[in-house]
Amino acid sequence: MLHGNGRLCNHPRSPAGIAGHTFSAPLLTLLVTALYIAAAAAHWSGALRPSATRARLMRALVVAALAIHTVDLSSILRNEAGFALSIGDALSLWGWVIAVSTLVAGFFWPLKGAPAFLYGLVAVLASFAAEPRTYHEAVAPGFAINVHIALSTFAAGWLSITAVCAVLLVVQSARLKARRMDSWVRVLPPVEILERAVFASLGAGFAALTVALITGLLFVYDLKAQHLSHKLWLSLLAWALFATLLVGRARYGWRGRTAARLTVGGFFALSLAYLGSKFVLEVVLGRHWG
């Protein structure tokens, strides 16, 4: 994932925006995090002891968390006049994508307790929204770069789901072969459903990542000056690993540990490309490229 159009400018929040966000963001973030934790716990409990009441509670908690999470992110985007986000804001937006996708997937597949792990991850990611900005410069955002960053965020969110489900799938398969039915294994959906979730999210994430890389290259004029060299090569490495997995799955039926290793490797490279470069730019250099 690349972004940066080469134009740095002073882009602080307005005084009113700073005051409003500083006052409300920690409270909203705390509430959102608590709701996602409650949703994760409800999905775990609901998978062990299913009932119509628990199902309604699970959905209500997720919808409430997403509604407040959306309000929190909307206030950030208004203050920033676009996707000029800090690391914490980007992680929170990443979590929002995972939460929405998990909620929608639940209408089509019997995911049982798998969302407990995903909403637990979302709770962690959403909690970073309260982190203060560590830079003073920001890109003057335009429509094209906003589209690129949105695509990158959706790719990261969907590929996060792929990584989590792939790990769960491998561990579940190992436990089933060993005939060890731990409580957390019993809450998972059948292997076929988890495998379908892995490759559905992988396909969507790979497509978004491909378009994000293509559009990102449009904003690169000097890899060294924009501090994007490592980001580019790590993003391309992640793309290559995911592409290898998709081809291997289609031609050779790759699954299990092979699929999990490639998925986790690609996800690690992608996370390092985005979060690692963002950390160096914002925390170490005090700069920002989007």
Q: What is the pLDDT of residue 120?
A: 97
Instruction: Give the 3-state secondary structure of the chain.
Output: CCCCCCCEEECCCCHHHHHHHHHHHHHHHHHHHHHHHHHHHHHHHHHHCCCHHHHHHHHHHHHHHHHHHHHHHHHHHHHHCCCCCCHHHHHHHHHHHHHHHHHHHCCCCCCCCHHHHHHHHHHHHHHHHHCCCCCCEEECCCHHHHHHHHHHHHHHHHHHHHHHHHHHHHHHHHHHHCCCCCHHHHCCCCHHHHHHHHHHHHHHHHHHHHHHHHHHHCCCCCCCCCCCHHHHHHHHHHHHHHHHHHHHHHHHCCCHHHHHHHHHHHHHHHHHHHHHHHHHHHHHCCCCCC
Give me the residues of the chain with pLDDT under 70, please: 1-25, 76-84, 130-144, 219-228, 279-290
Q: What is the pLDDT of residues 174-183, one digit of tens each?
A: 888 888 777 7
Q: What is the pLDDT of residue 175?
A: 87
Q: What is the pLDDT of residue 30?
A: 92
Q: What is the pLDDT of residue 236?
A: 93
Q: What is the pLDDT of residue 267?
A: 94
Q: What is the pLDDT of residue 159?
A: 96
Give the predicted TM-score (pTM) of the model.
0.84
The residues spanned by each domain of the chain are 12-133, 134-290
Q: What is the pLDDT of residue 146?
A: 75
Q: What is the pLDDT of residue 174?
A: 87
Q: What is the pLDDT of residues 118-161, one digit of tens each?
A: 999 999 999 988 666 555 545 555 666 778 888 989 999 999 99
